[in-house]
């Protein structure tokens, strides 16, 4: 078994695709419309779905916002140079709402950003 994808409902699919591809550097792997049930799926990720876990962005036509609830926490992405990545995200208009620094009670360097729908993304600096 392996983890295939995580699905996020989004209010503006093009804006979300731009965030994940232009700002976070993922690739748009595939996109499909379902006319009958009025939704569009877009799969983004850093590698092919055959061997990488990806994100499924789901746009339900006509639905622009969702109740975020309190159960979902965040998506985590490993990065090599967290300070440079956060600087680039900020310069591109992204929301770095927790600047890079050690995790509370530890030494791992983390930061948090938000996507256009408000989903939290934890950046974790990879150890050399």
Same fold for the pair 5-60 and 75-125? yes
pLDDT for 70 equals 86
Beta-sheet pairing, 109-114 with 120-125: antiparallel
Query: Which residue is catalytic, options 35, 36, 56, 122?
Result: 122
* Res 128: pLDDT: 59
Query: Residue 99 has what pLDDT?
Result: 98
Q: Write down the CATH superfamily of domain 75-125.
A: 2,3-Dihydroxybiphenyl 1,2-Dioxygenase, domain 1 (3.10.180.10)
Q: Which CATH architecture has domain 5-60?
A: Roll (3.10)
28-69 pLDDT tens trace: 999 999 999 999 999 999 999 999 999 999 999 999 999 888
Cα angle: 61, vertex 27, 75; to 5 degrees: 75
Q: Is 0.85 surpassed by the pTM of this model?
A: yes
**What percent of the chain clears pLDDT 70, i.e. is strictly above it?**
99
- Is 49 a known active-site residue? no
- pLDDT for position 127: 75
Q: Please state the domain extents for the chain.
A: 5-60, 75-125
Instruction: Look at the alpha carbons of 124, 67, 33, 116 in this order and tell me if their dihedral is positive or negative.
Output: negative
């Amino acid at each position: 078994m392996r983890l295939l994808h995580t699905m996020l409902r989004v209010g503006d699919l093009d804006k979300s695709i731009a965030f994940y591809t232009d700002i976070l550097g993922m690739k748009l792997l595939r996109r499909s419309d379902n006319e009958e049930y009025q939704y569009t799926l877009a799969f983004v990720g850093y590698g092919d779905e055959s061997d990488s876990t990806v994100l499924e962005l789901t746009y339900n036509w006509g639905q622009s916002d969702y109740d975020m609830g309190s159960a979902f926490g965040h998506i985590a992405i490993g990065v090599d140079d967290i300070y440079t990545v956060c600087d680039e995200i900020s310069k591109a208009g992204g929301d770095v709402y927790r600047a890079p620094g050690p995790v509370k009670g530890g030494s791992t360097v983390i930061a948090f950003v938000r996507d256009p729908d408000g989903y939290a993304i934890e950046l974790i600096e990879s150890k050399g």
